[in-house]
Chains A and B, each alone.
Chain A
């Protein structure tokens, strides 16, 4: 059960544990909406669920405690996101300005505060 990358090689591993477990959700989504209308209440609800999940992805990335993202202090991540958002609001909702500020803050904060 505990086969690793070295047993099957990188390409087969990519397909079996990268592509397939990821793609299955897209295919299930495709099959489920067969015949449903854009304005149906079910789709309105599904859209709200998708939007909330997107916020969940954001929260996970900002607060994550494992993987390469975790090497940057969580205070730096939250602070940079907040700063970027403030600039986004000040700059009349410019996504470019907000993203650039937030990313610059991450880079600067990483340089200053990372262990």
Chain B
């Protein structure tokens, strides 16, 4: 392994890899899921009186469907600090997601600022597809590929948001709400498909069990506690299993 010798690909190759990422985005179920989800979100934004360009900017800057649902549905009525608190609690997941995916694409010579765009593009859809596809390619191609994947999937969201905004008058609010369920459906199936290791499957399954239990305690910070409790339990089982197999890591 000549891991020290992996320079960044020349610009034309990087651009080609970026386009490969775009193609992977269009071939992902999440591209269509995002369109459906953001049709619902765009219609809701129109309904409560936000402008077309506000909706576009919110997708570009926030790029998190649950946070955008909170913004659109509460910004008109709630106090700003309440909205900010709800948004930040809904987005805690980005910390471990970014922390898990960036080391997959980093290699010697990569600067922190090269990772700013991949960090911003990280969302559930991009993360799930990135964790599946990045390990299949040489490490020096992973950053442009991930950027292409993220920009491609974000385009689906932008297109969906625009369609929803324009169609809003003809979409009943209940239909817009039903369209928002594209995202949880896709999370469920893709995670089931992608959990190839015991650790992934166990973390996801335990998360599903622990989340309602944590929510019922009404202690707040539900997502954080769900992640820490279920994730650590799964990790513990994984470590014990490795010890039993006699190959400590």
A binding-site residues for B, Cβ under 8 Å: 1-5, 7-8, 10-11, 13-30, 32-34, 36-38, 40-41, 43-63, 67-69, 71-72, 77, 80-81, 84-85, 88, 93, 95-96, 98-99, 102-103, 106-107, 110, 114
Contacts and interface: CB of A to CB of B under 8 A. Distances in A.
Interface string B231-246: 1101100100000000
A32 B234 contact: no
B215 A67 contact: no
In the complex, the 7 A-B pairs of residues with the closest C-beta atoms, listed nearest first: A55-B207, A29-B98, A49-B231, A52-B207, A59-B211, A53-B227, A56-B226
Given A8-B80, A13-B75, A52-B206, A95 B186 contact: yes
B168 to A, nearest CB: 13
Contact of B232 (A1, A48, A67): A48
Given A26-B98, A58-B184, A71-B174, A44 B191 contact: no
A53 B80 contact: no
A8 B75 CA distance: 12
A10 B116 CA distance: 26
30 contacts: A1-B79, A2-B79, A3-B81, A4-B80, A18-B61, A22-B67, A26-B119, A29-B97, A29-B99, A29-B119, A30-B115, A44-B238, A47-B199, A49-B227, A50-B93, A50-B127, A54-B93, A55-B205, A56-B230, A57-B184, A58-B211, A59-B212, A93-B189, A96-B29, A99-B33, A106-B178, A107-B175, A110-B174, A110-B175, A114-B174
Contact of B95 (A10, A29, A55, A99): A29
Given A25-B91, A48-B234, A50-B97, A68 B189 contact: no
Nearest to A114: B174
A48 B189 contact: no
B144 to A, nearest CB: 18
Nearest to B88: A21
B50 A69 contact: no
Interface stretch (B14-22, B51-59, B155-163): B51-59
B99 A32 contact: yes
A102 to B, nearest CB: 4
A32 B158 CA distance: 30
A11 B93 CA distance: 25
Contacts of A102: 181, 185, 188-189
B208 interface: yes
